[in-house]
Structure 1
């Protein structure tokens, strides 16, 4: 990856960290998921509003490193308005990207692509995937 692309990706990550999208929580009857990463102290409080199999709204709160919080911001943006199945597919593609595996490149990752470089730092992958795992847990509990 070129250094210009690295710098762009760094700027995108820092923008989501410093200006998080969808920060806060949803009150009325939302799914609430709390997860943490004990190895580094990242914590996320995710709330999802799911109606008729569609994620109508997604908000997060928490604390953690720039990668963890930026990823939560990107994830909430990416899943809003998506069917649960689409959100789970996006999460699978994201996980595959984090693990350096081949993934479905027909799916537009938009800002999420900026986290691609995290795959080179195995200790940071859990930071990047925390919010995604919380979303997966929330929608799977909703389906039950």
Structure 2
């Protein structure tokens, strides 16, 4: 289990130096995600070609947890198929509820540091904002 220091270092790094927080003009999937309870607001932008996420970014404002979680999610899903990305989202959302195995947790890589967010109910919506937005985006695209 990562220490609080490790959690804080990863969260701080993704918040202060997000690798994916920028515009993505050639995105072919764009969806706004809003957390009305705290004002987090992101625009998730994905470039999907032949069922594979080839690039992704987000813009918007929010707390450190929502911004870092969205950045970690993009680290994980870029290069994956839409199905793999949906599976990772499902694992992440179950992790927040405390319902994952260690093997599943390993698949989340750095995003697994957010597992204890479930002990901070007010912050759960922050952590899942990007993941729910991605799920909604990919489900809508299939319809």
Instruction: Say yes or no: TM over 0.5.
Output: yes
Q: For residue 123 of structure 1, report the CA deviation from its aligned partner.
A: 1.3
Instruction: Give the alignment partner of residue 93 of structure 1, picking from 91, 94, 100.
Output: 91
**Secondary structure of the residue that 1:100 maps to in structure 2?**
coil
Instruction: Give the alignment partner of residue 31 of structure 1, picking from 26, 29, 47.
Output: 29
Q: Give the count of matched residue pairs.
A: 142
Cα distance in 2 for residues equivalent to 1:29 and 1:128: 23
**Secondary structure of the residue that 1:105 maps to in structure 2?**
helix
Q: Is the Cα contact below 8 Å between 1:23 and 1:60 reproduced in 2?
A: yes
Q: For residue 26 of structure 1, report the CA deviation from its aligned partner.
A: 1.6
Q: For residue 104 of structure 1, report the CA deviation from its aligned partner.
A: 6.6
Instruction: Give the alignment partner of residue 63 of structure 2, picking from 40, 62, 65.
Output: 65
Consecutive unaligned residues in structure 1, runs of 5 or more: none
Cα distance in 2 for residues equivalent to 1:66 and 1:17: 5
- Provide the TM-score with structure 2 as the length reference: 0.93
Match of 1:139 in 2: 138
Match of 1:14 in 2: 12
- Aligned CA distance change for structure 1 residues 120 and 33 (closer, same or farther; 3 Å): same
Alignment of 1:122-133 (within 5 A): 122-133=121-132
Alignment of 1:96-135 (within 5 A): 96-103=94-101, 105-106=103-104, 107-135=106-134
Alignment of 1:51-62 (within 5 A): 51-62=49-60
Q: Is the Cα contact below 8 Å between 1:32 and 1:138 reproduced in 2?
A: yes
**Secondary structure of the residue that 1:34 maps to in structure 2?**
strand
- Provide the TM-score with structure 1 as the length reference: 0.92
Q: For residue 6 of structure 1, report the CA deviation from its aligned partner.
A: 1.2
RMSD over equivalenced CA pairs, Å: 1.5
Consecutive unaligned residues in structure 2, runs of 5 or more: none
